[in-house]
Structure 1
Amino acid sequence: MHFVEAKGILSAQNGMNLYRGCTHGCIYCDSRSKCYQFTHPFEDIEVKENAPRLLEKALRSRRKKCMIGTGAMCDPYMHCEEELGLTRRCLEIIDRYGFGVAVQTKSDRILRDLDLLKSINEKAKCVVQMTLTTYNENLCRILEPNVSTTAERVRALEIFRDNGIPTVVWLSPILPFINDTRENIEGILGCCVRAKVHGILCFGMGMTLRQGDREYYYAALDRHFPGLKERYRRRYGQAYEIPSDRNRELMELFYRICGEHGILCHVEDCFAYLHEFPERYEQLTLF
């Protein structure tokens, strides 16, 4: 872990990444790709220690409230958050200035900040986004070795449900020949239905691979699924998009179950919901 002074914190789309790198060890992580130009080991977390100060300065000068996003490139609830509390400090600022927040994570550490997330949701809007990839707990420990298990994440979704905080699940990635099964997708969707998630983001049944990410993923295949790397090479070569051969069947299942339970399932609809700041609050701030 090392500390830096960032020049800015909010992107043009009002997203922020408080850390850079990750300690979750997911075997498929796209953020390892060389295109992101990491100049330090991926597990050596870069901490933007002045992020709260930059965020407060940015929000203080905003006349129009909006949703603030975090977690798109780096999980805000990694192990170091327990010690540093950088995410919590930023949530306190968002809460103080009356903005909304959309948080994306794979960790049930987010429950530590339930009080703040409830406060933000009562004043404006809070959406918790949780990634789910496999219904099988043993497989989860292989694919995502240093993060909360699927069962722990689902329990977090249920707690947010019980506290009136809407949730969106990222059903991604689905790894060909590993978790692209009907049983797995039905299992995950069943959890989503019981947790009454508002939406599920799915970009198709498959994954992406590019330089940096591909090498790390293939090394993991050699350790845990001997022979599967060669099957990938024969089937996909050096392709960036790696679709499952069962994509059509599984996407039909996905849309059917979401439709039956009133869950948002089209990518554009989910993103529109995540970015939409509640009109009722905007109107109240005028008076």
Structure 2
Amino acid sequence: MHTVEARTILSPQNGMNLYRGCTHGCIYCDSRSACYGFDHPFDDVEVKANAAELLEQALRRRRTRCMLGTGSMTDPYIPLEEEFRLVRRTLELADRYGFGFTLITKSARVLRDLDLLRSIHRKAKCVVQMTLTTRDEALCRRIEPNVSTTRERFGALKTLRDAGIPTVVWLTPVLPFINDTEENLRGVLDYCIEARVRGIVCFGMGMTLREGSRDYFYDRLDRLFPGMKERYIRTFGNRYALASSDNERLTAIFHAECERHGIMHDNRQIFDYLRTLEPTPHPTLF
């Protein structure tokens, strides 16, 4: 871990990375890709120590409110958050200045800030996004070793549901030959249905690999799934997009089940919902 004094905090789309790098160890992490230009080891997390101060300066200058976001590059609830509390401080600012907020995480640690999430949602809008990849707890601990397990995340989604906080699930990535089964898909969907999530983001049944992320992924495959790396290379070569051989059938099941249960499943509609501060009509879930 190391700290820096950042020059800016908000992107043109009102997103922010409070931390840069991650210790969750997910084997498929796209943020490890070389295109993101990390100049330090990915596991040596960069902490933007002045993030809250920069955000307050930016919000004071804003004439119109908007949705703020975090978590697209680094999970905001990595263990370092317990020490630095940057997420907590930025949520406090959003609450104070009347801005909306959305975040993406794989951690049940988000419940620590339930009081602020509820307050923001009462005044503006707050949406918690949670990634779910596998229903299998043992597999989860192998491919996502340092995060809350799927069952723990499911528990967090239900707590958020009961607190009136809308949620969106990211059903991605789906790893060919590993979790691309109908049983796994239906298991994750059952969790989403019970938790009454507002929408599910899915880019089809597969994953992407780039320079940097591919190296890490293949290294972990060698350790966790002997022979799997060679199977990937034989099947996909150096492709960017790696689709499951059962992609078409599983994707059809996904859309049909979401439609049947009133869950948003059009990615453009979901992203519009996440970007829009003013409340939008919510689909009837049950």
| TM bracket, shorter-chain basis | over 0.9
Equivalent residue number for residue 152 of structure 1: 152
Matched, 1:58 2:55: no
The structural deviation recorded for 1:39 is 1.1
Matched, 1:135 2:135: yes
Structure-to-structure mapping, 1:137-286, within 5 angstroms = 137-278=137-278
Equivalent residue number for residue 283 of structure 2: none
Equivalent residue number for residue 42 of structure 1: 42
AA aligned opposite 1:164:
G
Equivalent residue number for residue 99 of structure 1: 99
Counterpart CA distance in 2 for 1:13 and 1:94 is: 16
What is the SS of the residue equivalent to 2:121?
A: helix
User: Unpaired segments of 5 or more residues in structure 1?
Assistant: 281-287
Counterpart CA distance in 1 for 2:200 and 2:279 is: 23
Counterpart CA distance in 2 for 1:203 and 1:126 is: 24
Q: Paired residues, what number?
A: 280
The structural deviation recorded for 1:279 is 5.6
Equivalent residue number for residue 283 of structure 1: none
The structural deviation recorded for 1:228 is 0.9
The structural deviation recorded for 1:38 is 1.0
Please report the RMSD computed on the Cα atoms of aligned residues, expressed in angstroms: 0.8
Counterpart CA distance in 2 for 1:28 and 1:59 is: 35
1:165-188: CA deviation from partner (whole Å, max 9, x where unpaired): 000000000000000000000000
What is the SS of the residue equivalent to 1:210?
A: coil
TM-score normalised by the chain length of structure 1:
0.96
AA aligned opposite 1:199:
G
**Which portions of structure 1, spanning 4 or more consecutive aligned residues, are displaced by more than 6 angstroms?**
none
What is the SS of the residue equivalent to 1:168?
A: strand
Residues 9, 16 of structure 2: 8 Å contact kept: yes
Equivalent residue number for residue 78 of structure 1: 78
The structural deviation recorded for 1:83 is 1.0
1:28-52: CA deviation from partner (whole Å, max 9, x where unpaired): 0000111111111111110001110
What is the SS of the residue equivalent to 1:128?
A: strand
AA aligned opposite 2:189:
L
What is the SS of the residue equivalent to 2:234?
A: helix
User: Unpaired segments of 5 or more residues in structure 2?
Assistant: 281-286
What is the SS of the residue equivalent to 1:27?
A: coil
What is the SS of the residue equivalent to 1:204?
A: coil
1:90-121: CA deviation from partner (whole Å, max 9, x where unpaired): 10001000000011100011100000000000
